[in-house]
Amino acid sequence: MMDALFLVAQWQSDRTHFRLTDITARKEWFIYARDLLRILEVLQDMAHRDECLSLQKDEYEVLQAVYPDLICSTTTDRTLSLEVTVELSDSHRVVGPEHTPTEEPTVVSALPPVLLDVRLPDEYPLYASPQVISLQTRHRWIPDVDKISRFLLDMWTPGEQVLTIWVEWLSNGTFLEDLDLAECIDGVRMIRVPDQHLIPILRDFDEHLKQAKFSESSFTCEICMTPCKGARCLRLSCSHVFCRSCLDGFWKSHIADGDLARVGCPDPACVKAHQEANEEEVKGVVEQHVFERWKYLWDKRAFERGVSAVYCPIPYCQAPVPYIPTEESNPSWKLFRTCIKCGFAFCSYCEAAWHGPAIECPRKVGEKAIERMLKRNPLAESPDYAAMARKGFQYSKTKLSQEVRQNKASYQLIQGTS
Ligand SMILES: [Zn+2]
Ligand SMILES: [Zn+2]
Ligand SMILES: [Zn+2]
Ligand SMILES: [Zn+2]
């Protein structure tokens, strides 16, 4: 900041000069009027520059406080290298240029960072916008980055500390919708990527970030009541978190007793709901030989349940799903199954997403209607008609199974939002 300067200018009788007095230094000069104007301009520029630099410093400090990992480097010419990780408030499904409905949908809530090099001119933020030196996304998952730059530059208005607004716009993913990179179809939020091979890359990035965050967070295990880092805990599919050593002890003893139903979440509500642990969870907690015994018991139980064991209808899952009796009185619940592996709740008869006990299974309704029609028609006795009706029956069954497949496809869309 400049020191204050007190000058007094007096208009002289010759009508061309000013007498300029520096009050503190007790000096005086006679100068032309036009020179005085130039001096004032220079002084004003210096004052503005100082103000800009101080505003830049403030903004830099705010950014560092709010986004500690954001600023990677700064240079003497005030070029900042920013790495903005995109963290979305809702999960988005990643879709590539090819349509592959049978594949397991990739759902992410974080995206690889936007890498932004930006230079702050002397006149920023009062009279100039920051300059975008380079802009790229890691793994180049956005092809047209120039569009982002143009959007950024349009955001600045004179006097505005726009860097903070830029970072927020990028980091919360608002830019995806503003640039038509994300859209919402039938309630499912989607992000389009230009190349199919980017889908697994984005999935891995999201998974790593989630893992890193979980490992860094602290949890209090409900069993031993000890606070510990996520790295030593496990989040079960019901989203309860316990420390691994407690789960290990708890599960090991139940596996030794052959009590499979208790190898699950120890939370009382989950015990009541028969929330069993899945294969991955058990494998990740207990020792290998204990896991092998669990697997043996599990397969044996599925075999013993025989006919009541069905397979998960989700194409990429196909896990055997045992029948677990519920306390519900409505007999329709007998058809209800929940896949232990992927969590899909479905009807074991029509294999569609669970339609609830209040609605009679649509496949059963359809089949009954056809049978009724066959019985009621007096012509049903004639062999020709019976052959025709059988064809019709076959046709209706094909149609029903088509509907089931459509239901499965819509389930995959629904899963994309969860
Ligand atoms: Zn514990
Ligand atoms: Zn639980
Ligand atoms: Zn499944
Ligand atoms: Zn059904």
| Digit-coded pLDDT (tens) for 110-130 | 999 999 999 999 999 999 999
Residue of higher predicted confidence among 24 and 373: 24
Q: Which domain holds residue 121?
A: 67-211
* 351 has a pLDDT exceeding 90: no
* Span 95-114, average pLDDT: 83
**How far is it, in rounded angstroms, from Cα 209 to Cα 46?**
46
Distance 367 CA to ligand 3 centre (A): 26
Q: What burial class does residue 120 get, using C-beta atoms within 10 Å of its C-beta: 0-12 exposed, 13-18 middle, 19+ buried?
A: buried
**How far is it, in rounded angstroms, from Cα 176 to Cα 169?**
9
Domain-embedded: residue 264? no
Identify whether 105 is preceded by a cis peptide bond (ω within 30 of 0): no
Q: Sorting pLDDT into bands at 50, 70 and 90, what band is 167?
A: very high
33 and 160 co-located in one domain: no
Residue of higher predicted confidence among 157 and 389: 157
95 and 197 co-located in one domain: yes
* 301 has a pLDDT exceeding 50: yes
Q: What is the pLDDT of residue 307?
A: 46
Distance 299 CA to ligand 4 centre (A): 26
Q: What is the pLDDT of residue 418?
A: 39
78 and 145 co-located in one domain: yes
96 and 205 co-located in one domain: yes
40 and 144 co-located in one domain: no
Q: Who contacts 163 (Cβ-Cβ below 8 Å, separation ≥6)?
A: 59, 63, 80, 118, 120, 130
Cβ pair 312, 379 in contact under 8 A: no
The number of helices, as runs of H, and strands, as runs of E, in the chain is 11, 17
85 and 207 co-located in one domain: yes
Domain-embedded: residue 247? no
* Span 148-154, average pLDDT: 93
Ligand nearest to the CA of 364: 4
Domain-embedded: residue 266? no
41 and 151 co-located in one domain: no
* Span 369-388, average pLDDT: 60
Cβ pair 263, 282 in contact under 8 A: yes
Domain-embedded: residue 118? yes
Of 156, 184, 211, at which residue does a domain stop? 211
Distance 243 CA to ligand 1 centre (A): 4
Q: What is the ipTM of this complex?
A: 0.59
Exposure class string for 187-221: b at 16+ Cβ within 10 A, else e? ebbbbebeeeebbebbbebbeebeeeebeeeebeb
* Span 183-201, average pLDDT: 88
* Span 181-205, average pLDDT: 89
Domain-embedded: residue 253? no
377 and 345 co-located in one domain: yes
* 332 has a pLDDT exceeding 50: yes
29 and 100 co-located in one domain: no
324 and 418 co-located in one domain: yes
Q: Sorting pLDDT into bands at 50, 70 and 90, what band is 407?
A: low
Return mean pLDDT, the chain.
Answer: 83
Q: Sorting pLDDT into bands at 50, 70 and 90, what band is 279?
A: confident
Residue among 63, 65, 50 at smallest CA distance from 126: 50
77 and 190 co-located in one domain: yes
Distance 219 CA to ligand 1 centre (A): 10
- Maximum Cα–Cα distance across the chain: 129
Of 186, 211, 236, at which residue does a domain stop? 211
In this structure, which residues have their CB less than 5 angstroms from ion ligand 4? 347, 349-350, 361
User: How many domains in the chain?
Assistant: 3
Q: What is the DSSP letter of 17?
A: E
Q: What is the pLDDT of residue 400?
A: 53
Domain-embedded: residue 103? yes
For the ranges 25-29, 79-83, 152-156, the lowest mean pLDDT is seen at 25-29
For the ranges 30-39, 43-52, 405-414, the lowest mean pLDDT is seen at 405-414
Distance 267 CA to ligand 2 centre (A): 5
* 214 has a pLDDT exceeding 90: no
Instruction: Tell me phi and psi for residue 360, to 5 degrees.
Output: -75, 145
**How far is it, in rounded angstroms, from Cα 309 to Cα 354?**
16
Q: What is the pLDDT of residue 105?
A: 84
Of 148, 178, 211, at which residue does a domain stop? 211
Distance 270 CA to ligand 2 centre (A): 5
Percentage of the chain exceeding pLDDT 90: 29
Domain-embedded: residue 303? no
In this structure, which residues have their CB less than 5 angstroms from ion ligand 1? 221, 223-224, 243, 246
Q: What is the pLDDT of residue 166?
A: 94
Domain-embedded: residue 129? yes
Exposure class string for 74-90: b at 16+ Cβ within 10 A, else e? eeeebbbbbbbbbebee
CA angle 92, 96, 101 (to 5 degrees): 85
* 346 has a pLDDT exceeding 60: yes
190 and 322 co-located in one domain: no
Q: What is the pLDDT of residue 113?
A: 93
Distance 227 CA to ligand 1 centre (A): 8
